[in-house]
Amino acid sequence: MYQEIHRWFTLRKFQWKLKRDGNEIVTFNRALRDANNVLVCMPWNFTEFHVARYVQKFLSTEPDGPQVTYIVPHQFGGDIHKRPQDLVIRANGSSRDRRGVFGAEFEAQVLSKSFQVAADLSRTFDLGTSLLCWKTGAPLRIGIESPYSHLFFNMEVERPSNTFPLEKAYRNIQKMLDIESLS
């Protein structure tokens, strides 16, 4: 219950800040074409992670594409298909606080570079990864539809009702991130 109250206050604070700052209109194709760095937050659920990983391996087939930084749970870090220019950042249990938000040290490590695209592949709303994507300041932030996703993302993919059509949602995100085909 304490965590839910913290989460509620964090979301309300975030809503107030978002209203104050306003939202920027982004041209989707231009944002992808200009992307040098892409952040992809992988799901923390075992089943969702492995479905996303299956689709994710197709992102890593283009040798000249942008650098992709993957945020993954520590136990799944070795399961990511990546190119030499890609980076995998593993998060362990101490990387997050009680609300699920990443700590300042972890955020500083991730946010040490600028991102043009950030994608959160969590099917259920994950405050930590959603907030991390928002904090990148990326012009294009992609997430799966949830009651709070409009606060963090400016592109939403329809949320599948169970894990079997989840592959379809991940493939849609993968197609969006297929930067070479948009040039």
- Is the residue at 138 inside a domain? yes
For residue 158, give the amino acid letter: E
- What band does 106 get if pLDDT is binned at 50, 70 and 90? very high
**pLDDT given at position 46:** 85
Q: Is residue 5 part of a domain?
A: no
Evaluate whether residue 79 is within a structural domain.
yes
Query: Residue 63 maps to which CATH number?
Result: 3.40.50.2000
- What's the mean per-residue pLDDT of the chain? 79
Question: Which residue has better confidence, 60 or 106?
Answer: 106
Look at residue 61 in the predicted model and tell me its pLDDT: 62
Q: Within a domain: residue 109? A: yes
Give the predicted TM-score (pTM) of the model: 0.74
Mean pLDDT across 1-23: 68
Q: Which of 63-77, 88-102, 137-151, 161-175 comes out lowest in average pLDDT?
A: 161-175
What phi and psi, each to the nearest 5 degrees, are found at residue 2? -60, -40
| 12 pLDDT above the threshold of 90 | no
Q: Residue 50 belongs to what domain range?
A: 36-182
Q: What percent of the chain has pLDDT over 70?
A: 76
Shortest CA distance to 40 belongs to which of 138, 158, 124? Answer: 138
Domain count of the chain? 1
131 pLDDT higher than 90 = yes
Tokens (6 digits) for 41: 């937050």
Residue 8: inside a domain: no
